[in-house]
Amino acid sequence: MGITNIASEKYLSFTTYRKDGTPKSTPVWIADLQDGTIGFTSASSSWKVKRLANNSSVLLQPSDARGKVKEGTEPVSATAVASTEDFSRVGGAVQKKYGMQFKAIMVFGKLMKLLGRGSGTDTAIIVTPL
């Protein structure tokens, strides 16, 4: 599955790895960044961001909103990096694709940050398929 196909999906199962090598998957939105990479946004306090600091290898696979992978699809190997500097660029691409849903998530993230529950959505994850 090429980058264009993976980027056209609404949800992807994004698999990172714990320090002991155990895979951990979570569903994410994804947007094509038009430079051979794809990306999404997350909170810097999220476990997926913390796991990326230890291991940049990830797997991507089309899924539903709950992370159940689509039948007949194969995982795509990739590397991923977390970046606060690229948040505006990646956030803009995600907002363009998901519209009001993205805005609602941003408001929710800000509310949670005000309540002391996390950092809010403040980090871009840039994924480069291998």
Side-chain-side CA neighbours of 86 within 13 Å: the count stands at: 18
Q: Tens of pLDDT along 58-116? A: 999 999 999 999 999 999 999 999 999 999 999 899 989 887 776 677 666 667 767 77
Domains defined along the chain, listed by start: 3-129 (2.30.110.10)
How far apart CA 64 and CA 68 sit, in angstroms, is 6
8 A C-beta contact, residue 57 and residue 17: yes
pTM of the model: 0.84
pLDDT (tens digit, 9 = 90+) per residue, 33-74? 999 999 999 888 889 999 999 999 999 999 999 999 999 999
